[in-house]
Structure formats: C-alpha cells, structure tokens
Structure 1
Amino acid sequence: MSEIHIERNHGLGLAAAREVARQWMQQAEQDYGMECTYAEGEVCDVAQFNRAGIDGSVEVSADTFTLNATLGFLYGSFSEQIEQRLLQSLDALLGAKAPADDDAYNDKDWL
C-alpha cells in the first residue's frame, strides 16, 4: 500500500476553506467516482473520500488543508501521478500557482 500526504497552507479562513473543500469533493465525485462525506467541526472539518483501491480524508482548518490517502495495491504503482493530480486540483481551487516542474529535460539551462 502507498500513502499520500499533502499539506497546503492558505489564508482563506474557515468559511471560504469549507467552500473550497466542497468544490474539491464535487470534482472527486464527478471525475473519479469517489464517495465523499463532509463533517463540520468548530475549528476543523473532515472530508472523507473512498472508492475501490483508494480511501482518505481532507482536514480543513482556517489556514490549512491536509490530505491523507491510502492507495491499494493496484493504485500503488501510480502513486506519484495520483499525488500530482491531487496537488494540481487542490492548488487550482486555492488559486495557487503550481510549482515549476523540476525535470532536467524541461530545464533550458543545460542547453
């Protein structure tokens, strides 16, 4: 089994962060067939998601998103690609710029 851990800081506050989390859940349900539930708390909310071969949660606070996922055997070999997709979707919803790809083949300095 593979584990994915993603943490993103933000300055949205809890109400706006909840909206971002709900948007992320809708995307996960539509795009990946995930089953999602959402529980609000006073200072932290928890979104649970699962489908065959993957399950996890997103903890939502006034200043942080923390995603933890466990991938089953069949998805384990794709963990890097899955993590990148999760990062991209979360960063897009947060309005953050994704970090530049640090692949040497994309680095123009070596030419």
Structure 2
Amino acid sequence: MTQISVERKHSLGRAAAREKAEALVDKLTREYDLKAQWNGDRVEVRRSGANGSIDIGDDSIRVELKLGMMLSMMGGTIKAEIERALDKALA
C-alpha cells in the first residue's frame, strides 16, 4: 500500500479555502468516480483501490491518500496530479 501526503499553505481563510476545496472535490468525483463524504472541514474520499481525506485548515489544505496495490504503481503520477490540482485551485 502506498501513502500519499500533500499539504499546501494558503492565505484565503478557512471559508474561502473550503469553497475551493468543494469545487475541486466535485470535479474529482466526476472525473475519477470518487465518493466523497463531508464532515465539517474534512472530506473523506474513496474509490476502488484508494481512500483518504482532505482537511481544510485556516492556512493550509492537507490531502492524505492510501493507494491499494494496483494504483500504487501510479503513485508518483497521482501525487503529481494532486499537487497540480491543489496549486491550481489555490491560485
């Protein structure tokens, strides 16, 4: 199992960061067949072969993702895509 952890700082404030995270999660659920469950400022995401969470803080967003054996081979690509998507969403 591969563990991916990505954190990005922001100066948007929690409410604005959550709005951007919600838009990003909506996009990812459509594109990658993710299931998302919000609980306050944390969203749990899962799909076959992967599960994790996104935590929205006052000055950072943290993504934790565990990949199963099949997706582990693409761990570097998946991490790069998460980093790119976060950078774009927080710009």
TM-score range, shorter-chain basis?
over 0.9
How many angstroms apart in 2 are the aligned matches of 1:22 and 1:78? 25
Aligned partner of 1:18 in structure 2 is: 18
How many angstroms apart in 1 are the aligned matches of 2:58 and 2:18? 9
TM-score after normalising by structure 1 = 0.80
Deviation at 1:9, TM superposition (A): 0.4
2:66 equivalent to 1:83: no
Aligned partner of 2:29 in structure 1 is: 29
Figure out how many residues of one structure are paired with residues of the other and give that number.
91
Aligned partner of 1:47 in structure 2 is: 43
Identity of aligned residues (%): 29
Alpha-carbon deviations, 1:31-81, whole Å to 9, x = none? 1000001121xxxx1111000000000110110101100000000010000
SS in structure 1 at match of 2:11: coil
Which structure: larger Rg?
1
How many angstroms apart in 2 are the aligned matches of 1:39 and 1:57? 10
Instruction: Tell which has more relative contact order, 1 or 2 (C-alpha 8 A, sep 6+).
Output: 2
TM-score after normalising by structure 2 = 0.97
Higher-strand-fraction structure: 2
2:59 equivalent to 1:63: yes
How many angstroms apart in 2 are the aligned matches of 1:48 and 1:80? 21
How many angstroms apart in 2 are the aligned matches of 1:76 and 1:94? 26
Moved over 4 A (4+): none
Q: Which runs of 5+ in 2 are unaligned?
A: none
SS in structure 2 at match of 1:86: helix
Q: Which runs of 5+ in 1 are unaligned?
A: 96-111
